[in-house]
Amino acid sequence: MLAKVWAGEGYFVLFPHFYEASHGTFPTNANYVRWVASTAECIAHFAPKNKPVVLFGISLGASVALAAGTELTGIDSIVEWAGSLPDEYFLHLKHLPPLLILHGSDDQNVPVINAKQLFLLCDRLHVTCSGTIYKGDGHVFPEHREDAKSRTRAFLQSRISKRTIEPEQTADPR
């Protein structure tokens, strides 16, 4: 589990179970509203005070992180693996923190056009943005997982200072 990887490297990790905040797992506008609200509650109750908050998500979790990043203040940055910014949040964008965007060019679950749109959006809004599209790779880029971890590690190190915590310490708000 990637939460344990990052916790083992000294970061404080929250791994919200956002499905429990909604009446299903389908990405509807109503569910996104609930998922963003549950992300805000999780941050408010569990994140260390006066420390940068980085949202990290994979696939639908990345989409929730992006939606939350456009609505919530106090998000330092977002790491998104194979996600997309939901249309409703794109249309009513309030702000966007710096992003790391990683996506497979042959992703059949979340088309690569979503990553390309995020790169363009960052450029137009002058938002700090980095990342890559892994040529020939699919959803959550199984062929490039180690490179994705390295890029994520470098992004995290560039955005926030390390926390002093015990290895594999995670907070599970369930």
Q: Is the distance from CB of 96 to CB of 88 less than 8 angstroms?
A: no
For the domain with range 2-171, which CATH number is right: 1.20.140.10, 3.40.50.1820, 3.40.50.2300, 3.40.1160.10?
3.40.50.1820
Task: Give CA separation, 34 vs 37, 67, 174, in Å.
Answer: 5, 11, 16
pLDDT digit string (tens) for 75-116?
889 999 999 999 999 888 889 999 999 999 999 999 999 999
> Is this structure's pTM higher than 0.85?
yes
Domain boundaries, the chain: 2-171
Averaged confidence pLDDT in the chain: 85
Over the range 34-43, which residues count as b (16 or more CB within 10 Å of their CB) and which as e? bbbbbbbebb
Which H or E element spans position 69?
helix 60-71
Tens of pLDDT, residue by residue over 26-47, are 889 999 999 999 999 989 998 8
